[in-house]
């Protein structure tokens, strides 16, 4: 099952276990994850920020024809199942993933590109929002996938 997620999860407000890189939160919540860090939602869903495969956002100080986009790679694991990879985008039409229980959304990605300095891969922070979709009796009752 593919998942699309949109969100911002607040690490500072909720705390982080530095030994495991896990942030524990309850839905609905916003969270900020560094590359390699994961959030455990309601003890059921694990969302891990894997990296940024591409970042074509228009840099500060540059003149661009379009605003650009950034891809954020994540993995999601529900109820101890297999981890599934997905890519979220900053563009609104492709910035979320839905499971039978949760919606995860990408709200923002920092730092913002500049024309003077490339962004090191480990400096990225994804802001995600996770919310419970609802208790469904079957996978067929889940919202349609895009």
Kindly report the CATH number assigned to the domain that includes residue 131. 2.60.98
Give, as one character, the DSSP assignment of residue 26: -
Question: Do the domain assignments include residue 39?
Answer: yes
Is a pLDDT exceeding 50 seen at residue 43?
Answer: yes
Question: Do the domain assignments include residue 2?
Answer: no
pLDDT tens digits, one per residue of 86-98: 999 988 756 676 6
Q: Tokens representing 118?
A: 């490339």
Question: Do the domain assignments include residue 49?
Answer: yes
Question: Do the domain assignments include residue 128?
Answer: yes
pLDDT on residue 95: 64
Question: Do the domain assignments include residue 112?
Answer: yes
For residue 39, give every residue at least 6 positions away whose Cβ sits within 8 Å of its Cβ, in sequence order, or none.
9, 22, 23, 24, 25, 31, 33, 46, 47, 128, 130
Question: Do the domain assignments include residue 75?
Answer: yes
41-55 average pLDDT score: 94
- Structural domain including 95 reads 11-141
41, 28 contact by CB (below 8 A): no
Question: Do the domain assignments include residue 5?
Answer: no
Is a pLDDT exceeding 70 seen at residue 32?
Answer: yes
Question: Do the domain assignments include residue 132?
Answer: yes
Q: What is the DSSP string of 93-109?
A: GGSEEE-SSEEEEEEEE
**In terms of Cα–Cα distance, which of 75, 67, 63, 54 is closest to 2?**
75
Number of structural domains the chain divides into: 1
Residue 14: band (very low, low, confident or very high) from pLDDT cuts 50, 70, 90: very low
Partners of 86 in the beta sheet?
Answer: 74
Query: For residues 43-65, b (16+ Cβ closer than 10 Å) or e, as one string?
Result: eebbbbbbebeebebebeeeeee
């Amino acid at each position: 099952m593919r998942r699309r997620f949109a969100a911002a999860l607040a690490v500072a407000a909720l705390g982080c276990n530095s030994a495991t890189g896990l942030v524990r939160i309850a839905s609905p919540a916003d969270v900020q994850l560094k590359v390699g860090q994961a959030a455990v939602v309601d003890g059921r869903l694990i969302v891990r920020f894997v990296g940024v495969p591409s970042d074509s956002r228009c840099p500060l100080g540059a003149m661009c024809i379009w605003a650009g986009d950034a891809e954020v790679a994540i993995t999601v694991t529900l109820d101890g199942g297999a981890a599934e990879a997905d890519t979220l985008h900053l563009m609104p039409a492709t910035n979320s993933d839905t499971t039978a229980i949760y919606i995860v959304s990408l709200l923002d990605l920092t730092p913002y590109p500049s024309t003077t300095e490339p962004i090191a891969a480990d400096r990225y922070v994804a802001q995600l929002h996770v919310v419970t979709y609802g208790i469904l009796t079957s996978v067929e009752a889940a919202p349609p996938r895009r």
